[in-house]
């Protein structure tokens, strides 16, 4: 079962969301570092810049984790497909084995009858031989 739609997974693979987030952080930097900012806030700028850098780093890690999740999901779906194929093969083999067992059982009954008849014929021949030898 896919958690992501194909388009969403493709966007993750192509880095669309990472680029979007980086563009947003760049715009925030442009707004907060614009020359129109009063000098009172200049003391806060290094802290804000560090904070934005940390946010950007965390977003990069998050996007990498999401792309890994998409890859893992693809592997799981592929393995589920393989398990379905293996299950179908196993069911086919089980059907074939049952057919062979039934054929073997019917052949066993026929061969047992032939063997009994053969022993009867051999016993009769030995009995006839003994009868003729005694005369």
Q: How far apart are CA 19 and CA 23, in angstroms?
A: 6
- Least trusted range by pLDDT, from 12-16, 51-55, 116-120: 12-16
State the DSSP code for 71: H
Q: Is the pLDDT of residue 38 over 60?
A: no
Q: Is the pLDDT of residue 32 over 70?
A: no
What pLDDT is stored for residue 99 in this prediction? 94
Number of helical (H) and strand (E) elements in the chain, helices listed first:
3, 0
Containing H/E element for 20? Answer: helix 16-32
State the DSSP code for 34: S
Residue at token pair 């009172």: 40
Q: Is the pLDDT of residue 20 over 70?
A: yes
The mean pLDDT of 51-79, rounded to a whole number, is: 88
Which is more confident, 106 or 10?
106
Q: How confident is the model at residue 1 (pLDDT cuts 50, 70, 90)?
A: very low
The mean pLDDT of 47-59, rounded to a whole number, is: 83
pTM reported for the whole predicted model = 0.44
Q: How far is CA 97 from CA 49, 75, 93, 100, 109, in A?
A: 71, 33, 6, 5, 19
Q: How far apart are CA 46 and CA 40, in angstroms?
A: 13
């Amino acid at each position: 079962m896919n958690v992501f739609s194909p388009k969403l997974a493709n966007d993750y693979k192509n880095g669309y969301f990472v680029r979007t987030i980086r563009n947003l952080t760049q715009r925030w930097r442009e707004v907060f570092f614009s020359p129109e900012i009063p000098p009172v806030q200049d003391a806060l700028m290094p802290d804000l810049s560090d904070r934005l850098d940390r946010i950007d780093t965390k977003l990069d890690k998050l996007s990498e984790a999401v792309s890994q999740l998409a890859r893992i999901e693809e592997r799981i779906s592929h393995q589920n497909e393989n398990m379905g194929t293996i299950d179908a093969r196993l069911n086919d083999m089980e059907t074939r084995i049952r057919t062979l067992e039934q054929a073997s059982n019917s052949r066993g009954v026929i061969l047992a009858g032939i063997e009994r008849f053969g022993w009867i014929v051999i016993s009769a021949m030995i009995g006839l031989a003994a009868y003729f030898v005694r005369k």
